[in-house]
Structure 1
Amino acid sequence: MAKFLNTSATNYFLEELIKSAKDRLILISPFLRLNERIKELLEDKNRLKIDVRVVYGKSELQPEEINWLRELTYLRTSFCKNLHAKCYLNEELCIITSLNLYEFSQVNNNEMGVLVRRSEDPELYKEAYEEAQRIIRISDEIRISVETVEKEAESSAEGEDSTPDKLTTSKLAQKVGVKTNELIERLVKAGYLEVKEGKNYITAKGKEAGGEFRMSPKFGPYFLWPESFRP
């Protein structure tokens, strides 16, 4: 019999579902911005060579998120237009819920969901699994690459109203010799960026330092910094 889940139970069983996956894992969520705990669990699945499929529906991935995803060999990502469903499955469990795989939602929102066990509700599990497979089939698989984002960002930086001597955050991180996530943490700590509702925003201090906010129609927001900038 399906089990009702409140907010805390949804988060708990989502982690258990990921941890207990031994053969396959399907994560369907319109919004995708993973907290550190979920990232750790997925990295462990990758080390165990578990097949992970992630389907999302909003093209607003941050460059640092893309940089992290591309390092997971056994995680395949697909984009599904008009996606609104939130469904998470492994070979034995299924969660159908209002909860996005978005760290702000997991911390701040009131959510509901139901847990379906294959051993107790095989027909219900089968129907949810088949619908998840259909969503995967109609989705466009993407080999996420931060280089693609950087290339597009650099192309945008060649426009008439921009300066060519600026770097994306990930390129600047390479130049400084740190990981992108580490550089972003430095920028936030130093006051060049601030976090609101799970998203990074450039501050007045960041603009004074020469930072710029840009929006890629395909890959979402990113930032440009002077090549000589050292936070």
Structure 2
Amino acid sequence: MAKFLNTSATNYFLEEMIKDAKDRLVLISPFLKLNDRMKELLADKDRLKIDVRIVYGKSELQPEEINWLKELTYIRTSFCKNLHAKCYLNEDICIITSLNLYEFSQVNNNEMGVLIRRSDDPELYKDAYEEAQRIIRISDEVRITMERVSSEGEGKQDNEEATGKLTSSKLAQKLGLKTSELIEKLIAQEFLEDRDGKPYITQKGKDAGGEFRMSPKFGPYFLWPESLTI
């Protein structure tokens, strides 16, 4: 039978669920900003080579989260558009709750949730697990490992000034192109490659001076040398 959880119980069982995961761990939360305790628990799962999937739904992933996730091998992060669900599960239990995986929510908000044990409610657990897997399938895996992000960067303009390079939109404007046209040309010349409709920088693009950046305000973008030949 499912168990009702208040705020403190949700936080307690969430921590216990992460600690007890031996095979898999799925964390689905629109907002992602981890406190130190949560990072410590997840880093331990990474050391134990536990398969961890984190799905979030807001594009403003903080630079400190990106830099921290970059160091972890067995934690994969995905972005799901229009995500509102909050669901956390391992191979034995599932928590469905109003609680975001966000340090402010865990400390300040009044939350409610339910705890589902696989041994007590196998069908209910199965339904929740299958829906979590569907959300993972429709989400876009974030290639955190592509570039380290500077926590001092405040946005595209700061990075342009610091590097002397232009964003794709600024470079397109300089060349008299639409941004989409520039992206197509960069893909055609193998500076970028198309993966499921999204551009990713290639080694050739990096060798030409291109850089991948992630801004907490603007999301992912590229910087290019002003003299790049298209």
When normalised by structure 2's length, the TM-score is 0.68
Give the aligned partner of residue 162 of structure 2: 164
Q: Percent identity?
A: 76
Residue 50 of structure 2 corresponds to residue 39 of structure 1: no
SS at the partner of 1:58? coil
Give the aligned partner of residue 140 of structure 1: 140
Give the aligned partner of residue 54 of structure 1: 54
Residue 79 of structure 2 corresponds to residue 74 of structure 1: no
C-alpha distance 145-115 of structure 1, shift in aligned 2 (>3 A): same
CA distance in 2, matches of 1:118, 1:98: 20
Deviations 1:27-65 (A, max 9, x none): 000000001111110000000000000000001111111
Give the aligned partner of residue 19 of structure 1: 19
SS at the partner of 1:72? coil
**Does the CA contact (< 8 Å) of 2:61 and 2:216 recur in 1?**
no
Cα RMSD of the aligned pairs, angstroms, is 2.3
CA distance in 2, matches of 1:91, 1:101: 19
SS at the partner of 1:164? helix
Deviations 1:182-204 (A, max 9, x none): xxxxxxxxxxxxxxxxxxxxxxx
The 10-residue stretch of structure 1 (110-119 or 139-148) with the greater mean CA deviation from structure 2: 139-148
For structure 1, the residue ranges without an aligned partner over 5 or more in a row are 167-213, 221-231
Give the aligned partner of residue 115 of structure 1: 115
CA distance in 2, matches of 1:95, 1:158: 40
- Cα distance, 1:130 vs. partner? 0.1
- Cα distance, 1:87 vs. partner? 0.1
**Does the CA contact (< 8 Å) of 1:27 and 1:88 recur in 2?**
yes
CA distance in 1, matches of 2:123, 2:83: 24
C-alpha distance 11-215 of structure 1, shift in aligned 2 (>3 A): closer
SS at the partner of 2:11? helix
Detail structure 1 runs of 4+ shifted over 4 Å in the superposition: 152-155
SS at the partner of 1:46? helix
- Cα distance, 1:146 vs. partner? 7.5
C-alpha distance 165-143 of structure 1, shift in aligned 2 (>3 A): closer
- Cα distance, 1:133 vs. partner? 0.2
**Does the CA contact (< 8 Å) of 2:32 and 2:101 recur in 1?**
yes
- Cα distance, 1:155 vs. partner? 5.6
**Does the CA contact (< 8 Å) of 2:28 and 2:87 recur in 1?**
yes
Number of paired residues?
169
C-alpha distance 215-124 of structure 1, shift in aligned 2 (>3 A): closer
Give the aligned partner of residue 193 of structure 2: none
C-alpha distance 8-215 of structure 1, shift in aligned 2 (>3 A): closer
CA distance in 2, matches of 1:145, 1:125: 32
CA distance in 2, matches of 1:121, 1:133: 18
**Does the CA contact (< 8 Å) of 1:6 and 1:113 recur in 2?**
yes
- Cα distance, 1:217 vs. partner? 1.6
Alignment of 1:206-221 (within 5 A): 216-219=217-220
When normalised by structure 1's length, the TM-score is 0.68
Amino acid of the residue matched to residue 3 of structure 1? K
- Cα distance, 1:164 vs. partner? 3.3
**Does the CA contact (< 8 Å) of 2:59 and 2:216 recur in 1?**
no
For structure 2, the residue ranges without an aligned partner over 5 or more in a row are 165-214, 222-230
- Cα distance, 1:157 vs. partner? 3.1
Residue 12 of structure 2 corresponds to residue 7 of structure 1: no
Deviations 1:134-175 (A, max 9, x none): 00000001121483645x97863365xxx4379xxxxxxxxx
Give the aligned partner of residue 85 of structure 1: 85
- Cα distance, 1:219 vs. partner? 4.9
C-alpha distance 98-158 of structure 1, shift in aligned 2 (>3 A): closer
CA distance in 1, matches of 2:154, 2:108: 32
**Does the CA contact (< 8 Å) of 1:67 and 1:146 recur in 2?**
no
